Structure 1
Amino acid sequence: MMKLVADFHIHSHYSRATSRDLTIPHLAIWAQRKGVHIVGTGDITHPGWTAELKETLEPAEEGLFRLKEDVAKAVAEGVPPACQGTVRFILTGEISNIYKKNGRVRKIHNVVFVPSFEAAEKLQAALEKISNIRADGRPILGLDSRDLLEIVLEIDPDCHLVPAHIWTPWFSLLGSRSGFDAVEECFDDLTPHIFALETGLSSDPPMNWRVSALDRYTLISCSDAHSPQKLAREATLFDTELAYTAIFDALKTGDLKACLGTIEFFPEEGKYHYDGHRKCGISWDPKTTLAHGGLCPVCGKPVTVGVMHRVETLADRPEGARKPNAHPFHSLIPLTEILGELLGVGSGSKRVRREYERLLAHLGPELAILMDVPLEAIATVGGDRLAAGIGRMRQGQVTAIPGYDGEYGIIKLFDEVEDRAPSMQMGLFGDALPGPAAGVQEQPAAYAPELTSQSTEPGTSVTPAEQDTAHVQPAPLPPFDPDVVSPSPVHPPSAPPSPLDALNPQQREAVQCIDAPLIIVAGPGTGKTRTLTVRIAYLIQERGVDPESVLAITFTNKAAGEMAERLAGLLGQDVASRITIKTFHAFGAMLLRQWGERAGIPSDFTIIGDEERRWILRRALPDLDRRRVDVYLGLIAAAKNRLLTPESPDLADALSDVLLPERGGEAMEAAALKAAYRAYEEALRRVQAIDFDDLVVKTVHLLEDHPDVLQTLHAHYRWISVDEYQDVNHAQYRLLRLLTAGGANLCVIGDPDQAIYGFRGADRRYFLSFQRDYPDARVVRLTQNYRSVQAILDAATQVISKSPDRDAMQLWSQFVEEVKLEVYQAPTEKAEAEYVVHQIERMMGGTSYFSLDSGRVEDDHPSARSFGDFVVLYRLRAQVAPLLEAFDRSGIPYQTIGQVPFYARPVVREALACLWLLHNPRSRLHLEVILSSGKERFSAEALDRVLAVISAHPDALAEALAHAADLTGLTAAQRRRLAALASLWENMSLGDHDSTPDGLSVAQLVERVHYFLAAQRDLTEDEEEHLRQLASRAAAFDDRLAAFLEAVTLQSETDAYDPRADRVALMTLHAAKGLEFPVVFIVGCEEGLLPYLPEDGRADLDEERRLFYVGMTRAQRKLILTHARTRFLFGRRMEQSPSRFLNDIEAALKEVREAEARRRQRKPPPAEQLRLF
């Protein structure tokens, strides 16, 4: 057994706002100077810091690490002989969790402990999937603390989590600003795995004892050091073996013989002890805060509620109460502060440093001087006054000016009153020293330090010069919420209204219109999806319509899923599941699976995505470069959307609006297009595949050529609803005309002002001509907006009103807060990106203590936002690079939508090709993808030979692959690959091609494919992670392989957005369609960019205006439009001017700001390993 001083919670130089001296050598030096035996490494989640730790540390006792021999020798030179001692390191790190839970934003800091570097690297791998862990030593995660704990426990059973500084107003478990009222609220079912709590600098154990719910937790104290000199300003004491497990056994049991208590700040010295406003000079005790209604008398805003107030709010015991089996504690003042007071200089002055070094050289480590060394010895070396001051501290006889709102408090030992003779205190580990023991020994029973103060009446003194913290025992305080200064009475909710009753008159009119074709003109945020779903539910519940006769068509899988979920809530899952809810393409796929053989399409046809389309055309026309391949594919898609074939005589004329000139200036020849189109279609037939556009085109041809199939559908689907009708193209329009030709009731909904997909062939004219197509149609307009504040709607209306051929429709909202749009001009695109990051930090009330202390945020901000409340929109993907750099530097978690699609990543495509091959063994395309990937890829000639062998055995793939492996000219690795693929297929071949083999889920199939790929080559860490993500995404499909493959292929850009991920979203304006966010940034509001004016001059200014309108109307509460004076784009820096759309917004609705000029600052050097000293 060994008596130990431990300081677990510290930081490294990789954390923001920390000292460059936070390296292992410096920490080892200061640990010995302080008298600390076990030091947390801090920042164990940062890969750079972990690499440094591996270079300087080596394993010691179980779970602990010591300096390597060469480092230890260098460190010894910087430690006075009187201070040299044992130092061990334990792997720890703090994590910042910011997320929404139970309707509030939570900001919680947690300290994690891991027993090995292997566990640390597993933790890093797990967290890097969630957020950027390299921007800050204390990473910011948009992750529930409960889920973090689950991850930690799954990494290693010896990993642990301890909530950090639990009372701090910001960033803590019980904090007044963004914490919980109980540990259980935070960690839910995993609460039993929490056994210790870090109390923080602004509270001491007696304050925690007043909350009986904390009795079962062991209280620990740590320094949270941001520089080596701050080590052990708080620490935890043990008497255990020098081993990881022994330390945690002591913490878990709370054994008074093993866990000896803590070293504490005087809590008044902590910077969040009292309530107050630092900027206004307001410092209050809790009763004074309540007397003022929580409002600062200087600025009128809510004060920051401190730790003392928060403890009073949650306390169920009176002041002075002692919890059962309480551990002792020792309240100390750092030696440098004592010396500074004695010498009348700052604690960091040279005089203090010289005296500090002299005392350590003669008396030993600082903690020993403060607690153990006899006062006579201190007087001999440091003088009687120093001995008297330390004696007073040991007795708790101090005067305090409490800290508040980020301002550290001041603890004084001396005043003008004659000092009393000092007495002794217990030794560091409870060993009695000569003389009376009147200090710490009695502190657990009733801690009442003697303090001097000026007597003040509550509510009359704004800034007490010196507050007496030995208060009269206060009455229990009512809970105080700084975000609700004057709470309104809470009334019990009434019974939920029926769906029809909850609609406004226009929505109700649309729902009840069932006797004629119906077009609903629904502006943004007017409840479009709700109206459509309630109408379907009304038909089934009130009008007796058979659910199976209802067809609802959407444009995205996300919209289809949302509609299905809402209908399940209205009708019940059994009834809702009988309704057909599909995208146009998924509906076409369903029909082709059922009747496609009538049109020569096999039922097990393969659907290919964009990458496979490129693959096929390059194989068909190998002389084409990548750019020309993309041009041809775009034209082919446009032709299909217009129902044009390679043989259509008017192909070139019909595509004249999209036949883009090449860079050389010559238009593409019609003959070349026809040849490419013909070759592409022939290649599709050869590999028995159809592309995305074929799903609608071939369905139209099927219904036109087979009237009996169409009649069957006429009899089946009598009620058809279409969402986003303004975005239909000609093929989709034709499909709807066919489906409704038998008299089905048609209801379409949309907004021509949000038609933004003309470049994909969508034509808003079908929306505008609906009444001509259906003369008996009725029109209903939805104008009440439930999303945005009125100012945003007014500004958006001013922009869109400039569009020609627009029917005026004024949107209105009940949200009429006095807000303005912000228009900000930045000097460059990088400054623009930094502005976005800073604004997000400000609106969240800060994402770190650095944000608060550096003034980057306003301390009066309500902290009502989480990361998922923000979106940053841009016109082009090329704009995203500076945004990613800024977000990576900040550590703010984010997700990008519309960059490289997940399913387009090479290893994911390879795995999906394996699954497609299992689903359809005759899919030559996917066999080619598999054999042409990896290091031992097959040449085109070898691939053709293999495919020729396989073609001769179309129904026996495993046998064919085995025969192909015997071909001459193949390498040994290629032969092994063919044999492995044969084995994979043989072991997992499917009897029913729609489902997986017995007992295997789709996720398990993915795992087996993962093993197959790993056996062929060394997968990178990213590839391994992508395959794990693929298995995770497949889990929801159980054994439905065909459904999974189809869903993957039909996924749209918007479908990639995950609203459950609490991260800032970065996406194109197009991808934002159908989404909404409390706060929206639109960056790059510049001429040439928004509106986008390509060099070929073929710009659709009306559609660009509608696109800007769509972006503006995504905003619920705040809209920020930014532009840059210069921007680096497409390889050159360009002078930019503000977008014309900004000028369309009247001055009364916007606040225009410009970046302030500032001096050029030297760019900080990149993170690098520091030298030893």
Structure 2
Amino acid sequence: MSQPAFSSSSSTGHALSATQLAAAPPEAILDGLDEEQRLAASTLKGPLCILAGAGTGKTRAITHRIAYGVRAGVYDPHRLLAVTFTARAAAEMRSRLSALGAPGVQARTFHAAALRQLQYFWPVAIGGTMPQILDHKVRLLAEAARRLHVTTDRAALRDLASEIEWAKVSTLTPESYLEVATAEGAGRPAPGGVDHRTFAKLYQSYEDVKLDKHLIDFEDVLLLNVGILEDDERVAAQVRQQYRHFVVDEYQDVSPLQQRMLDLWLGGREEICVVGDAAQTIYSFTGATPDYLLGFKRRHPEANLVKLVRDYRSTPEVVKLANSLLADRTRESVKLTDPAPWPEPLQLISQRERGPVPKLIQHADDDTEAGWIASEIKALQEQGVPLSEVAILYRTNGQSQAFEQSLATAGISYQLRGSERFFSRREVREALAALRTSSLVDDAGDAVSKSVRDILSSHGYSAKAPEATGAVRERWESMAALVALADQLSTEREDFTMRSFISELEERSAAQHAPTVEGVTLASLHSAKGLEWEAVFLAGLSEGLMPITFAKTQKEVDEERRLFYVGITRARKFLFLSSAASRHTGGRGRRTPSRFLRPLRKEMGMEEPGRKIIPSGGPSPNASGRKKKASTCSTCGKVLTNGTEVKRRRCESCPARYDEALFEKLRAWRSDYAKELEVPAFVIFTDATLEVIAERRPTSDEALLKVPGIGERKLEKHGDRLREILNEI
């Protein structure tokens, strides 16, 4: 059974509403799933392991599994706990479950679930007042260092805090840490500029300071909860009575401490479903390990195993590069005399139509690279790609400055992921307060979107974006994100009211589940996990940055390869890979492109660096050794190099081949439609796309999808209105 094509792995195609699902038989929930997703969703009992590659719809599969189990009477929604790793992912899961008719299911992070249990059982199991949770370790660590007369700076304190976190999630005490860190072959670097023995003393001193001040830290929440479950059988029995079934997302990221708590929750039972992909393990430095995912079948011999390999997110061109990157390590591991463990990766199969060839290019210096990226983003914007669908990803946060400067110079708005949280912004807090106190809270249906616009107009919102930059533009983008969310929810949800919108915002605020802000996303590769964009720029792909210079062992380099793989698989359609030979303009150009680019160049038919580097947008030899056929003008035969000319299939100077009267009618329709949606006209379709429509006069979905500039997403969003105008004409 094939799954309807859609542009994002999080899409659900033409899904039934919650009301329709409630009236339909339980099996209706499985409609629209592909064969493997359906197998996973319909396997309701016993241990289940789902190996899900990037973009294969794992969240779709597990939410449909839960909803189907609830509708079929196998699961009590109040006795099933779904666990994931971020508040955003948990909020997304709850939202999907609610839409599927299973609103009572608990979807939480490991820490949120543990904290809830700890707060509930503390009075009975421990007694007294529960300690306050410490937000940051640095201040207490500084005091612990002073007690031991150890000199540290702020950077060293951050490293020491990270090492404490790793030790705790690895279930190591100050005493056992020293034994493990100094064991032969451990390879654990000394943290924060101190030796392992001194760190163990600092670790113990930190614990003493914390105890004196009646505080606990983030990791203590799990440790204390584990302790209660292990020591008090009455508490453990009550938790096991409450939760009979478990689902764990991103299982490749569990730590020994989280697995220990999961085992205590289960109490020997096997009603558990885990989902993960070992190729996306990128948090080993925090204690995460894929060992539990890879060893699930050994721990649960009766477990069912389902592999999801159909990629609905990325084009074949992007998927091919991702597969090549992992396959290169697989080939390499055969040659290594002492290879690090490297499980056979999932071979993804793209379900999307072909897209543009990724671009791979080396620049002279960082500023040139940043300027090129800004110009490419401008070109994408002209093609109708929203800025919110563009991301620049890099290995370290220190790399963002050059990109910030180039985007600002080009007048392109952007947002730094990992900076101030959306719901913590002053203008957003003021907007939420205005919405709560408005006299329009009883509005429902389409009136909600209008009411939100009216209320936020006094807080910086307008239908047209301001030309100003800085604080004015940032305020407008925040308000526009709230308006866009209101539009989206009013379309998706039945009986949508202003009260339900405010409730949604409050829930998102608690979970820090921010709406989309119109601007290019700048983010580190680690912070991009779990996200996706139409266009992704992977920048700074030089040795020393990718892999990072401190990745010395094979195991550490392997993690860098997986991190790069995660970056590639964030892209849906457009992928750009770039590096710079020098940091500064006029530098000696000593940097070399990342070793991870070699298999990608080979896949793309490009020459190795040292000879001429050919950007993928230009002609390059293919696997057969022949030159790739260039795009030419359909009138004069001239080779086309401009993106707009390629889309039109003619050069600017040649006469148009389309029906000019039809083109003008299409432009007039687009202008009216854009005003109705309150978006720029080019966001709907560019002039080049309208020209092709006027030339080909497509009448079916298949024909429309062959028009450059119309993908599945735009067809779903604007297709009905476009067909109406074409039929009228």
Normalised by the size of structure 1, how large is the TM-score?
0.41
Which amino acid in 2 is paired with 1:1114? R
Answer yes or no: is the 8 Å Cα contact 1:791–1:816 preserved in 2. no
In structure 2, relative to structure 1, the CA distance for the partners of 1:663 and 1:1039 (3 Å cut) is closer
Q: Deviations over 1:347-372 (max 9, x none)?
A: xxxxxxxxxxxxxxxxxxxxxxxxxx
The structure, 1 or 2, with the larger RCO (C-alpha pairs under 8 Å, 6+ apart) is 2
Q: Secondary structure at the match of 1:1116?
A: strand
* Alignment-mate amino acid for residue 725 of structure 1: Y
Separation in 1, partners of 2:559, 2:100: 36
Give the match's secondary structure for 1:823: strand
Does residue 1118 (structure 1) correspond to residue 574 (structure 2)? The answer is yes
Q: Which residue of 1 aligns with 2:161?
A: 633
Could you say which residue in structure 1 is the equivalent of 2:641?
none
Of 1063, 1085, 1094, 2:550 maps to 1094
Partner of residue 1143, structure 1: 598
Q: Which residue of 1 aligns with 2:189?
A: 660
Paired position in structure 2 for 1:187: none
Question: Residue 99 of structure 2 is aligned with which of 552, 555, 569?
Answer: 569
- CA shift, 1:550, in A, is 0.5
Cα offset, 1:657, TM superposition? 4.3
1:642 aligns with 2:177: no
In structure 1, the partner of 2:538 is 1082
SS of corresponding position for 1:748? strand
Task: Give the equivalent residue in structure 2 for 1:1062.
Answer: 518
Q: Report the equivalent of 1:362.
A: none
Q: Point out 4+ residue stretches in structure 1 off by more than 6 angstroms.
A: 492-497, 900-905, 1035-1040, 1095-1099
User: Structure 2 residue aligned with 1:834, among 367, 371, 374?
Assistant: 371
Please list the CA deviations of residues 59-97 of structure 1 after superposition, one character each: whole Å capped at 9, or x if unmatched. Answer: xxxxxxxxxxxxxxxxxxxxxxxxxxxxxxxxxxxxxxx
**Partners of 2:329 and 2:234 in 1: how far apart?**
45
Q: RMSD over aligned Cα, in angstroms?
A: 3.8
Q: Secondary structure, in 3 states, of the residue corresponding to 2:165? A: helix
How far apart in 1 are the matches of 2:346 and 2:528? 22
Question: Could you tell me how far 1:644 is from its partner in structure 2?
Answer: 1.7
- 1:831-884 superposed Cα distances (whole Å, 9 cap, x missing partner): 111111100111111xxxxxxxxxxxxxxxxx3211111011000111111001
Output the CA distance in 2 between the equivalents of 1:762 and 1:737.
16
| Deviation of the 1:646 alpha carbon | 2.6
Q: Which amino acid aligns with 1:815?
A: R
| 1:886 match: secondary structure | helix
Aligned-pair distance for 1:596? 2.5
Output the CA distance in 2 between the equivalents of 1:756 and 1:602: 40
**1:287-436 equivalent positions in 2, closer than 5 A:** none
- TM superposition shift of 1:631: 2.6
Change in Cα spacing, 1:1094 to 1:653, as seen in structure 2 (3 Å) is closer
Q: Which residue of 1 aligns with 2:671?
A: none
2:47 to 508, 512, 517: 517
The corresponding residue for 1:1153 is: 615
Could you tell me which residue of structure 1 aligns to residue 401 of structure 2? Answer: 881
Shift of 1:598: 4.7
Q: Does 1:669 align with 2:196?
A: yes
Is 1:506 aligned with 2:36? yes
How far did residue 885 of structure 1 move? 0.6
Q: Distance in 2 between matches of 1:1064 and 1:1089?
A: 22
Aligned to 1:796: 322
User: Is the counterpart of residue 620 in structure 1 residue 620 in structure 2?
Assistant: no
Distance in 1 (CA, whole Å) between partners of 2:554 and 2:154 is 22
**Displacement of 1:808:** 4.3
Q: CA deviation at 1:1108?
A: 0.6
CA 702–662 in structure 1, closer or farther in 2 if over 3 Å, else same: closer
Q: Residue by residue, what CA displacement relative to the aligned partner does 1:8-39 show, whole Å, maximum 9, x if unpaired?
A: xxxxxxxxxxxxxxxxxxxxxxxxxxxxxxxx
Q: Residue by residue, what CA displacement relative to the aligned partner does 1:215-255 show, whole Å, maximum 9, x if unpaired?
A: xxxxxxxxxxxxxxxxxxxxxxxxxxxxxxxxxxxxxxxxx
- Choose 1 or 2 for highest CA Rg: 1
Counterpart in 2 of 1:756?
282
The change in CA–CA distance for 1:598 and 1:659 in structure 2 (over 3 A counts) is farther
How many residues align? The count is: 511
Counterpart in the other structure of 2:670: none
Label 1:601 to 1:722 Cα distance change in 2 as closer, same or farther (>3 A): farther
**CA deviation after TM superposition for structure 1 residue 735, in Å:** 1.1
Distance 2:304 2:261 in 1: 21
CA 598–614 in structure 1, closer or farther in 2 if over 3 Å, else same: farther
In structure 1, stretches of 5+ residues that fail to align are 1-102, 104-491, 846-862, 912-1020, 1157-1173
Return the TM-score normalized by structure 2.
Answer: 0.64
Moved more, 1070-1079 or 639-648: 639-648
Render the CA deviation track for 1:577-631: whole Å, top value 9, x for unaligned. Answer: x22110001111101111124554755532222xx31111113333432233223
Inter-partner Cα distance in structure 2 for 1:663 and 1:549: 44
> Does 1:536 pair with 2:66?
yes
Instruction: State the AA in 1 paired with 2:516.
Output: R
Matched, 1:813 2:350: yes
Q: Deviations over 1:448-491 (max 9, x none)?
A: xxxxxxxxxxxxxxxxxxxxxxxxxxxxxxxxxxxxxxxxxxxx
Task: Quickly say closer, same or farther: Cα 1:1099–1:494, change in 2 above 3 A.
Answer: closer
Given candidates 551, 554, 568, the residue that maps to 2:81 is 551
Q: Using a 3 Å threshold, how does the CA distance of structure 1 residues 1036 and 555 change in structure 2: closer, same or farther?
A: farther
Which amino acid in 2 is paired with 1:740?
L
Q: What's the CA shift for 1:762?
A: 0.4
Kindly indicate whether the alpha-carbon contact (under 8 Å) linking 1:592 and 1:603 is maintained by their aligned counterparts in 2. Answer: no
Unaligned runs of 5+ in 2: 1-5, 7-13, 22-27, 331-341, 430-469, 483-497, 607-613, 619-729
Deviations 1:786-834 (A, max 9, x none): 1111111111001012335222432112223153110011111111111
Where 1:837 maps in the other structure, the secondary structure is helix
Q: What code does the residue aligned with 2:359 have?
A: E
Tell me if 1:1108 matches 2:564. Answer: yes
The residue aligned with 1:825 is: 362
- Encode CA deviations 1:970-1006: one digit per residue, 9 max, x unaligned: xxxxxxxxxxxxxxxxxxxxxxxxxxxxxxxxxxxxx
Name the CA shift for 1:872/1:1150 in 2 (closer, same or farther; >3 Å): farther
The 8 Å contact of residues 714 and 739 in structure 1, kept in 2 or not, is answered as yes
How many Å separate the matches in 2 of 1:1063 and 1:513? 41
What SS class does the counterpart of residue 168 from structure 2 fall into?
helix
Distance in 1 (CA, whole Å) between partners of 2:123 and 2:588 is 56
Q: Secondary structure at the match of 1:532?
A: helix
What is the one-letter code of the residue matched to 1:669? H
Residue-by-residue CA offset, 1:170-207 (whole Å, 9 max, x unaligned):
xxxxxxxxxxxxxxxxxxxxxxxxxxxxxxxxxxxxxx
Seen in structure 2, the aligned counterparts of structure 1 residues 755 and 830 have a Cα distance that, compared at 3 Å, is: same
| Partners of 2:251 and 2:275 within 8 A in 1 | yes
Q: CA deviation at 1:1116?
A: 0.6
Verify the 8 A CA contact 1:718 1:744 in the aligned structure 2.
no
Q: Residue 1153 of structure 1: SS of its match in structure 2? A: coil
Which stretch of the first structure deviates more once superposed, 689-698 or 871-880?
A: 689-698
- Judging changes above 3 Å, is the alpha-carbon distance between structure 1 residues 550 and 829 closer, same or farther for their aligned structure 2 residues? same
Q: Give the structure 1 partner of residue 226 of structure 2.
A: 700
Distance 1:1117 1:649, change over 3 A: closer
Contact 2:182-2:196 within 8 A present in 1 as well: no
Structure 2 match to 1:896: 416
Structure 1 distance, partners of 2:373, 2:195, is 42
Deviation at 1:658, TM superposition (A): 6.7
Q: 1:626 to 1:601 in 2, by over 3 A?
A: farther
Quick one: distance in 1 between partners of 2:196 and 2:89? Answer: 40
Question: Does the 8 Å contact 1:791/1:1149 carry over to 2?
Answer: no
Cα distance change of structure 1 residues 602 and 563 upon mapping to structure 2, 3 Å threshold:
farther
Separation of aligned partners in 2, 1:904 and 1:494: 35
The alignment partner of 2:51 has SS state of strand
CA contact (8 A) 1:635 1:658 kept: no
Task: Give the Å deviation of 1:677.
Answer: 1.4
Per the TM alignment, residue 669 of structure 1 is displaced from its structure 2 partner at its CA by 3.4
Q: What's 1:97 paired with?
A: none
SS in structure 2 at match of 1:827: strand
Paired residue for 2:583, among 1104, 1127, 1149? 1127
Go from structure 1 to structure 2 and tell me whether the alpha carbon gap of 1:889 and 1:695 turns closer, same or farther (over 3 Å shift): same
